[in-house]
Structure 1
Amino acid sequence: MSIDKVEDEIYEKRKEIKYDIRDAVIRINIINLERIYNMNIYIWGTGRLTGKVVDRHIPLNRITGFVDNDASKKEYMGKPVYTPLEVASMNYDAILVCNLYSDQILEQCKEIKIDRNKVICLYNNCKIDDVNIDYEFVKAVVGEEYAKVVMDRYKIVRGVEAYGDLFLENCERRDMLQGYMRTDYVRIKCFELAVKEIRKRKIGGAVAELGVFRGEFAQFINAAFPDKTLYLFDTFAGFNANEALDEKKKGNCSESFIEAYKKTDISIVLDRMTNLDSVVIKQGFFPESLGQLEEKFAFVSLDADFEESIYQGLVYFYPRLEKGGYIFIHDYSSDLLGVEKAVDRYETDNDIKMCKVPLCDANGTLVVTK
């Protein structure tokens, strides 16, 4: 056999091997995809963080069910809700912990013998070491893009060593600080320093929050300003249906996000307040809920999530903000894209440039001042 013929045969064999390898890789990828999409995935949590994750990062149709310690919950988002003990005896491929209590949940998993290797914490996953064990597994379950978000979400930062009139250090209810200082340190410490400036400069006026939900941030406003009237604006029953539908159509939020914010009422909010006598509830859709209210304000939190509500909040509150006061606009640098649009629109409509500083807190607060 000639050398040319041998070389031709070798070339053909190499081609066959190459195509065999390619076909094998394709088959393996198909098998892996089928395995991933046939996984029994459960989400531990039925609150607002689940609303931020489901449909935006993980399709609802990939979720087998939800896990909650509240045994009275039987269904959420059309899926069954199980207790942790029930799930422990079931066939599960992954359990995504979607709330802020990863320490307690991991301890509970250990007690009831849930396989730790199948548990993924989507929040509070990073202490000094990341509690998620295998990020290849995380990528396989939630996708590479969202796995990177989870992996990079938390940074270990040095806290500010401030002095002077710091209301948190003398706060009666230290318990309310524990979770918040871990999950949104930058926001709450910046608020504390803003309070210090308002007190030092004796800025007059009331305080307010538009978009109260369950009162997590309102409780700090109430504690910081015991002598100021605190106006709380919210439906206390979820978003305006028309505005929510419009935001959903624009791709700014998901149905599960909208659903999660229905889980509140006035009593939950008031239970968090330390100075009840100074609280005024303004229930209803804003700005109709204002009534004939005419006030000046030292501090305002705008946390209404959607473009039109944030815009209307600026229309009312910015002209009434005392010089030296602050407006904190939550979610400005976040995936709730309508918030930034509302700020831009307000400046354009009024031909002004507000004095503003974006913060690098958990949800990208914008600080506005005069």
Structure 2
Amino acid sequence: MTTTEQHYIQLLKETLIDKDNAVRYQLTPLAPGQGSFLKRMVINLLINTLSKKNLIITGINKNGLKQREIGLGWPINGYTMIGLKRLNNIQFCIEEVIKNKVEGDFIETGVWRGGACIFAKALFEIYNENRKVWVADSFKGLPKPNTTLYPEDEGDDLYSLEQLRISKEQVMNNFKRFDLLDDNVKFLEGWFKDTLPTAPIEKLAIVRLDGDMYESTMDGLNHLYHKLSSGGFIIIDDYGVIPACKKAVHDFRDEHGITEEIKNIDGSGYFWQKNF
């Protein structure tokens, strides 16, 4: 990678995580409610009501840049929530699979505004890699928990958040803003349980799961892991912060005898490399 390309990648990272806002304005949108059920309902109702009018409540956050580095907070103008360290992890994984000639594409399940996929596509362009980027999302938010089949998702109310309902058209336009939308960007629109089993994907080099739920994480593991090439990487975005996601990972690993070391990225995201 040339010096110019390195500068481009660094600038792209900073743009995707909304570093400019974090440094200059230090504004942080009110995050979804935590704590008691009543508190969550009140805060989430307020967020949803205002978002329909294109309004948000913000506060001054003097630790905004540090939070964006580790993917905390909801960036106002950012294209991704995941932060600098998790973008660095994507770059590491992509450069490793290229170096080691690991075959396959990149997929992210749960893309929000598309920033992580945009970043992966940019890296493939720089390295002249003819690999596909699969963009999998309902593009209408998270599903309601199916607690009959997945009791681990009991109490999850992320499905109610308007902020997570980013349309396919908006994500496509975000790719276009960076001149990165072409035939190698493939969209899988719908619930993971419906799209992933029949997705026309042959091989994967990197699987990035960001479904925020037990069900969504397990759907990704069940339908994608067998397509992951030896030497490829699997990334679980919420392993460190959502117990249901962590449980899905260990239930799957235990069932299939997977013993590769799980490595920490930033306290939230974790990953492992499939054995050669």
TM-score normalised to structure 2 length: 0.68
1:271 to 173, 176, 181: 173
CA separation in 1, counterparts of 2:271 and 2:53? 39
Structure 1 position 316, deviation (Å): 2.0
1:296 to 180, 187, 203: 203
CA separation in 1, counterparts of 2:192 and 2:81? 31
Moved beyond 6 Å, runs of 4+: 80-84, 180-183, 244-249
Match of 2:189 in 1: 283
1:50 aligns with 2:31: yes
Match of 1:19 in 2: none
1:340 to 246, 257, 261: 246
> What SS is found at the alignment partner of 2:262?
strand
8 Å Cα contact 2:140-2:164 kept in structure 1: yes
CA separation in 1, counterparts of 2:80 and 2:112? 19
Q: Deviations over 1:158-208 (max 9, x none)?
A: xxxxxxxxxxxxxxxxxxxx9579972211112212222122122211221
Match of 1:144 in 2: none
Q: Deviations over 1:301-332 (max 9, x none)?
A: 11111111111211222221112211111010
CA separation in 1, counterparts of 2:80 and 2:135? 23
1:278 to 1:203, Cα distance in 2 relative to 1, 3 A: same
1:191 aligns with 2:78: no
8 Å Cα contact 2:68-2:83 kept in structure 1: no
Match of 2:131 in 1: 228
Higher relative contact order (CA 8 A, sep 6+): 2
8 Å Cα contact 1:239-1:261 kept in structure 2: no
Q: Which has the larger radius of gyration?
A: 1
Structure 1 position 55, deviation (Å): 4.2
Match of 2:228 in 1: 321
CA separation in 1, counterparts of 2:202 and 2:231? 16
> What SS is found at the alignment partner of 2:115?
coil
CA separation in 2, counterparts of 1:82 and 1:283? 24
8 Å Cα contact 1:213-1:261 kept in structure 2: no
Identity %: 23
8 Å Cα contact 2:213-2:244 kept in structure 1: yes
Q: Deviations over 1:72-93 (max 9, x none)?
A: x9x349xx97979xxxxxxxxx
Structure 1 residues 86-101: aligned runs within 5 Å = 97=59
- What are structure 1's unaligned runs of at least 5 residues? 1-43, 68-72, 85-94, 98-119, 128-152, 158-177
Match of 1:138 in 2: none
> What SS is found at the alignment partner of 1:299?
strand
Match of 1:32 in 2: none
CA separation in 2, counterparts of 1:237 and 1:228? 27
CA separation in 2, counterparts of 1:301 and 1:156? 18
1:204 aligns with 2:103: yes
Structure 1 position 96, deviation (Å): 5.1
TM-score normalised to structure 1 length: 0.53
1:56 to 1:320, Cα distance in 2 relative to 1, 3 A: same
1:125 to 63, 86, 90: 63
- What are structure 2's unaligned runs of at least 5 residues? 1-26, 71-76
Match of 1:130 in 2: none
Structure 1 position 260, deviation (Å): 3.5
